A and B are shown apart, each in its own frame.
Chain A
C-alpha cells in the first residue's frame, strides 16, 4: 500500500546520509517550510570546482529528509556545475515515488536550499537560468 513510504525512503529518513555539520564549509544556507515545520541547513565545501564535502542538519517529514539525503548523495564529489544543474525532475527521479501536489514543498525543500546555498557561493544554478 505504501507507494510513498518505500523501504529505501524510510531508510534514508531513519539514517540519512551526509547528516551533520562538515568541516571547512565554504557556503551554507538554512531553508524552511514554515507551513510544515520542515527545516534544513545545508553546508557545502567547494574545492577546485568540485563539491568536496556536503552535509545537512535539520528536521522534518520523511519526504523532506529523504530528499535531502538522496540529493546530497547525488552531488557529493561531483563538479559544482552538476549540483547547479539539478532541477525538480531530478529530485523526483532520485526519490522515485509519486509526490502529490500537497507534498511537493516537502520534496523540494532540499533542492531549494541547495540552490540558495549555491547562490551564496555565487554559483549560477538551473533555477537562475530558468528565470534569467
Chain B
C-alpha cells in the first residue's frame, strides 16, 4: 500500500505500523475539554462527525485572518494566494484518494451534495422511463432519497441488494439483480450503521460487466480505510470532509474525467461559466463547471490539510488501529455485558470503526442520555438508515464509532457507562 513520506509531525504519532492515539489526541484541542458535569469528553460519535486537529483549525483561521479573498477572481496578492491554497487543497484531496488527476475532484459541501450532483446532472440525462437503479438495503438516506426523487421524475425503478442478518451484502442476489440491466449501481463503501466494509472492487467489476455505472458512497470509508479510486475503478466516488477531520462544509465528488466532461452542469451561476451572453452561456472546464458560486474556500482548504494529516499518519495504520479498537470493543462488550445485543459483522476484518448495540429494555435515547452524564458521547437513533433498521426489525440502536484519536480508555469508559445505565434502569 501507499507509504507516504513521514514528516516530523507524524513521527511522534506513529510507531512502525501502529498509531499512537494517546499522542494523536494532543493534536485535537476538544479532546482535552470536559463536559458540564466535569467529565473528560469521551467522543464516540466520529461516524457522525469527526473532531478536528489543530492544523485544520489553524488553516481555516489563517485563511480568514490573513488572506481571505474570493478564488479565481482577484488580480491581487491575497486573491491569488486564496486561489493557490484552494487548488492546492484539491491536489491534496486527489492525492489522498489516488485520483488520476486533480480535475476529477469536484468540491462539494458534503457527500450528500455530491450524490445529488450526480443524480441531477448525470441522472437526469441518463435515466429514462423504465430504467433501474440498484441500491442496497444498508444505504444512508443520502444515497437513497436522491435516487427516489430521480426515479419518481423519470418513472424508473429502484431495486435493492439485500443483506444477511449480520449485515453483509448478498452478492449472490446482486448477481441476479444485475440481470435487470440497471443503469446505475450505487452503494456504500462502509456502512455508517453496521460498519460493514463492502467488497467495492468486486462489486464494481460485477456492475461494470453488466453495463452499469457505479457510484460509491465513501463517506464512512475515506476517514478509516485506504481508498484508491483508480483501483476501485468506480465511476463516481463521494465523501464528506467533516467525517475525515476536515471542516463542515467541505466534501468532494470524484468522477472519471470523461464522465464529468459529458455531464451537464448541476448548479448554475458564477464560476461555472466561461462565457455568458444574455441568452446562452458556455461552461467552464471541469471541475469548475460544477462549482457554481463562491465555494466554502476555508473549509476546502481545511479539508486539504486534513487529507495531508491522514496521509502522513498512513491510512493502513489508521485501518489497523480501528480494527484493533473494534476487536477490543466487541470482546469487552461480549465479556462484560453479554446481555447487550450487537449488530453487524463480528469479524473485525470486515468492519470499520463502528459498533452498534442495544441494552435490553432500555431505549437507545435513554442509553445515550445516561452515557452523556459520564461524558461519553454516542449516537442514538436510526443513524439516517431507517430502511436498514426496518430490515433488522429495530426501532433504533446506540452507535459507538471511532477515529484516529480513539483509545482503549475511551472504550473502557463506554463499558463502565453501560454498567451505570443498567444499574439505573435496573436491568443489571
B-binding residues in A (CB < 8 A) = 1-2, 4-5, 10, 13-14, 34-39, 59-64, 103, 106
Contact = CB atoms under 8 A, between A and B. Distances in A.
B389 interface: yes
Contact of A14 (B369, B370, B382, B426): B426
Interface string B36-52: 01000000000000000
Nearest to A4: B369
Contacts of A13: 425
B100 interface: no
Contacts of B74: none
Contacts of A37: 363-364, 381-382, 389, 394-396
15 contacts: A1-B373, A2-B424, A5-B424, A34-B382, A34-B386, A35-B381, A35-B382, A36-B365, A37-B363, A37-B382, A39-B395, A59-B363, A60-B363, A61-B366, A62-B425
A10 B369 contact: no
Interface residues on B, range: 10 to 19
Interface string B383-407: 0001001000011100000000000
A62 B382 contact: no
A22 B256 CA distance: 62
B374 to A, nearest CB: 9
A63 B370 CA distance: 12
A62 B366 CA distance: 7
B373 A36 contact: no
B37 A61 contact: no
| Residue picked from B366, B394, B424, most chain A C-beta under 10 Å | B366
Nearest to A59: B395
Given A5-B425, A63-B365, A106-B365, 6 more contacts: A2-B424, A36-B395, A36-B396, A37-B381, A37-B382, A64-B363
Nearest to B363: A61
Nearest to B374: A1
Given A37-B382, A37-B389, A10 B426 contact: yes
B373 A2 contact: yes
Nearest to A64: B363
Contacts of B381: 35-37
Contacts of B363: 36-38, 59-62, 64
A1 B37 contact: yes
Contacts of A60: 363, 395
Residue with the highest number of chain A CB atoms closer than 10 Å, among B369, B386, B389, B394: B369
B223 to A, nearest CB: 25
Contacts of B365: 36, 61, 63, 103, 106
Contacts of A63: 365-366
Contacts of B373: 1-2
B370 A5 contact: yes
A114 B272 CA distance: 53
